[in-house]
Structure 1
C-alpha cells in the first residue's frame, strides 16, 4: 500500500514535466506536420517524401536543444526541485535555531520556489542555446555588404537588395555594423516574457489605482491594447518593408507568406527609399518592374519609372484589376482566411478546454 502511494506521488510530481514537454512537442511539430499533410493532399510531394519529412520533424523536435525539452526542463524542474531545496532550507533552519536564529516557513517556501525556477530556467536556456544557430536564423545584410564592400560608390542593380540605409542618410552604413549574433536562439522567448511581465505589472498597478471606474478610465482600459497593437504592427510592417534584417527570420517568413506580395514590388519600394528608383529619371531600374509587367501580361513600359509616372494600379495589384477598392477587399478576405486557418483551431481548443 505504501509503495502504491509513493508511486502515485511520483506520478503527480512528474505530471507537470510530462504535460509541459508534450505541449511543447505538439506546438513545435503540429504546424510543420500540417504543412506536410497539406502538401501531400495537393500532390506536391510523394508519400515517401512526406513520410521522410514527418520523421525528420518528429526526430528534430525530440532533440535536447529544442523547444519541447526546454519546456519540460523549465516547468518540470521548477516543480521537482522545490522539494529537495525545501529540505535543504529546513535543515539549515534547524542549524540556525541552535544559534537563536530562524527563518520563516513562508520565506523558505518562496526561496525554494524562486531557486527552483532560477536553476531550471538557467539549464533550459543553456540547452536551447547549446545547438548551433542556423545561418538563416541570424539577421543578414549580405547583399548590402557585397554592394558596399566591392565599391562604395556603386549603385545596386535592379534585382539586388539595396542597403537598408538610404544613400542620403548620415547613419552608419550596414557594412560598418557588426553582425555578431548576441541574441542567440531565445530572443523571441525573451521578448515574449518581457512583454507579458510588463503587461502583468501595468495591469496590476492600474487595477489598484483605478478604484472607481469612470468613463475616462474605462475608455483608457479599452483603447490602450488596440492602440499599442497598432503601433507595434506599424513598426513591424515598416521594418518588413524597408529593414527586414531587424526582424526575426520567422517574422519575415510569416509576413511574406501572409502578404503574397511579389518580391519585385518590395525591391522597388526599397530602391525608392535608397534613392535608386526615381520617377522621371533613367536610373537603370526599368528591368525590375518591366519583368513583372511581362509576367502579368501588362505593357512593359508601365514598369519604367522614367516613362510611366506613377506606377499603374494594375501593376501594384499584380494584374488583378484596376479597382483599388476591390483589390483591398480581396486582400482583406485573403488575409482574414489566412489568419482564420491559423487561429481558429487554437480558439476552438480553448473553448473545448
Structure 2
C-alpha cells in the first residue's frame, strides 16, 4: 500500500529524478526517495485517518502541538534526519555502488597488463595457465560482495547509533552519597531489518541450490512427483510454519512480536482478552483443573457477560472448560462457531481491502480492472476468514473432537490439552488457508511473515556487547542479496526483488 502511493523506482517519473546526476549517483537518489516514501507515507496516512476520525466525532484538539499541521511537519522533518531509514537506504545503496564502481575500475585498469619480472604479460594468459582458478568474473563478483558488505556494515551502524529510551534501562547502585541510577543501553532496534535480510539471503541461496538440483535431475530424468509437489508447496509451507510460530507467540509471548503487528492480530482475531489470560495461566500452571488456585474469576466474568453458567468458568467444577466459553456466546456447536468466525472475518477484511484496492483502480479505471479488484478483495478476505476460522476450529478439534479420543479425558490430560496442545493445533492449521491465494500472493505472503516468525525465536532486546554479531549477519546477508541482483536478478523474488532491481540496475 505504501509503495502504491508513490512512484515506483522503475517508473519513468522516479528515474527522471536522477537524469541530471552522473550514472553512478542515480541509485543513491532512487534509494533515498524510496526509503523516505516508505517510512513517512504510512505515518502520514495514519495521521490523516486519525484527523478525519476526530473531525467526524467533533473532537477539537486542546493543545496546539496536537494539531494536524504541526504533526505532519514533524513526520516530514523526521524523515530527513541523519540516523533514519532514508539515509540508511542511501548509504547502503550508494556505498555499495560507489565502492563497486571504484573496485571494478581498478580491476579493469590493472587487468589489461601485469608487470612480471620486468616484462608485460596479458592477464588472460595467466588465467589460462592457472586453468581459470581465479577468473575476472569471480574477482568482479567478489568485489561486488565486499563492497556491499562494507556499505551494509556502516549503514546499519548508522541506524544503530540512534539511541532510544525503549532500549535503555536504569539500574540503581549504591554510592557514598546515596543511591544513584546508572543507564544501561541495550541493542535490538534493528533486529527486524536484520532478520528480513537474513530471510532474503536464505531464500536466494536455497532457491539457487534447489534450481540447480532440479535442472540436473530433470536432465537425467529422475525428477519425481514428490519433488514437484515440494516445489509447489514450498511457499505455502513457509507461510504455514511461520504463522504457527507467530500465533503461538501471540498467545503466550506477545512481547516477542512488534507492537503494531500484535495490535493488528488482536483486531483480526476479535477475542476476549480474559480468554487469552486464562489460556496463558493454564499454560504456565497458574490455573489447574481440579485444584483451587483462586483463578475462577478470570472466566466467570466472561460467563456472566455471555449469559453462561458461572460454573463453566470454574476450573474445579468444569474439567475441562466447555467449548461454549471459547465460542464466546455463539453456541455449543464448534462448526457453527467456525462458520460464524469465517463470516465475520470475511466482512471485516472485505471492508478494509476493497476501499484500498478501489483507490488503486481509480488511477487507471476500467471495467476489467474493477472486476479484478472485486475478485482480489474477495479472495484475500476469504483467505483471512479461513485463517481465523481454522485457528479457532483447530482449538476445538483438540479440545473436544479429536484430543480427548486420543489422549483421554482424565484431569491431567485435560490440563495438557488446554495447556498448549489445543493452541498448537490451531497454529498448525491456520496457515494453510494461504492455499486460497494465488501462487504469486503465496510467495509474497511467505516472504513477508518469515522474518516476523524468526523474530519470535530471538529476544527483541539484547546486550549491547553482542551487537557486532547482528551487524555481521546483516552485512553478510545483504551482500549475498545484492550480489545476486547483479548476477541472477530473477533469483531475488517478489515485489522486493523488483524494487531492488529498479534501484540498483
How does the TM-score come out when normalised to structure 1? 0.70
2:237 counterpart of 1:227:
yes
Q: 2:266 aligns with which of 256, 278, 285?
A: 256
Q: 1:28 aligns with which of 26, 32, 39?
A: 39
Quick check: 1:305–1:311 contact (8 Å CA) kept in 2? yes
**Counterparts in 2 of 1:111 and 1:223: CA distance versus 1, 3 Å:** closer
Aligned to 1:207: 211
Unaligned runs of 5+ in 1: 1-6, 141-178
2:118 counterpart of 1:114:
no
Q: How does 1:16-165 map to 2 (within 5 A)?
A: 16-43=27-54, 46=60, 49-89=67-107, 97=115, 106=137, 109-135=140-166
**Counterparts in 2 of 1:107 and 1:314: CA distance versus 1, 3 Å:** closer
Instruction: Tell me the SS of whatever aligns to 1:42.
Output: helix
Aligned to 2:278: 268
Q: How many residues align?
A: 305
Q: 1:291 aligns with which of 283, 301, 305?
A: 301
**Counterparts in 2 of 1:240 and 1:69: CA distance versus 1, 3 Å:** same
Task: Write 1 or 2 for the structure with the bigger share of strand.
Answer: 2
Give the Cα separation in 2 of the matches to 1:345 and 1:226.
Answer: 24
Question: Please, what is the CA RMSD of the aligned residues?
Answer: 3.9
Measured after TM superposition, the shift of residue 131 of structure 1 is: 1.2
Give the Cα separation in 2 of the matches to 1:56 and 1:108.
Answer: 46
**Counterparts in 2 of 1:88 and 1:345: CA distance versus 1, 3 Å:** farther
Aligned to 1:167: none
**Counterparts in 2 of 1:40 and 1:8: CA distance versus 1, 3 Å:** closer
Q: 1:190 aligns with which of 180, 185, 194?
A: 194
Q: How does 1:273-352 map to 2 (within 5 A)?
A: 273-296=283-306, 300-335=310-345, 341=352
Give the Cα separation in 2 of the matches to 1:262 and 1:89.
Answer: 64
Give the Cα separation in 2 of the matches to 1:342 and 1:12.
Answer: 39
Quick check: 2:330–2:336 contact (8 Å CA) kept in 1? no
Quick check: 1:90–1:108 contact (8 Å CA) kept in 2? no
Aligned to 1:3: none
Give the Cα separation in 2 of the matches to 1:133 and 1:337.
Answer: 39
Give the Cα separation in 2 of the matches to 1:17 and 1:224.
Answer: 35
Measured after TM superposition, the shift of residue 80 of structure 1 is: 2.8
Measured after TM superposition, the shift of residue 180 of structure 1 is: 8.4
How does the TM-score come out when normalised to structure 2? 0.51
**Counterparts in 2 of 1:266 and 1:102: CA distance versus 1, 3 Å:** farther
Aligned to 2:452: none
**Counterparts in 2 of 1:14 and 1:298: CA distance versus 1, 3 Å:** farther
Q: Deviations over 1:150-194 (max 9, x none)?
A: xxxxxxxxxxxxxxxxxxxxxxxxxxxxx9845x22222222222
Measured after TM superposition, the shift of residue 322 of structure 1 is: 4.7
Aligned to 2:388: none
Unaligned runs of 5+ in 2: 1-17, 124-134, 170-183, 362-494
Aligned to 1:148: none
Instruction: Name which of structure 1's ranges 115-124 and 319-328 shifts more when overlaid on structure 2.
Output: 319-328
Instruction: Tell me the SS of whatever aligns to 1:81.
Output: helix
Give the Cα separation in 2 of the matches to 1:194 and 1:338.
Answer: 33
2:5 counterpart of 1:10:
no
Instruction: Tell me the SS of whatever aligns to 1:115.
Output: helix
Aligned to 2:380: none
Give the Cα separation in 2 of the matches to 1:339 and 1:75.
Answer: 36
**Counterparts in 2 of 1:319 and 1:204: CA distance versus 1, 3 Å:** same
**Counterparts in 2 of 1:50 and 1:289: CA distance versus 1, 3 Å:** farther
Measured after TM superposition, the shift of residue 250 of structure 1 is: 4.8
Measured after TM superposition, the shift of residue 264 of structure 1 is: 1.9
Measured after TM superposition, the shift of residue 221 of structure 1 is: 0.9
Give the Cα separation in 2 of the matches to 1:34 and 1:285.
Answer: 43
Instruction: Tell me the SS of whatever aligns to 1:97.
Output: strand
- Higher relative CO (Cα under 8 Å, sequence separation at least 6) belongs to 2
Give the Cα separation in 2 of the matches to 1:285 and 1:10.
Answer: 68
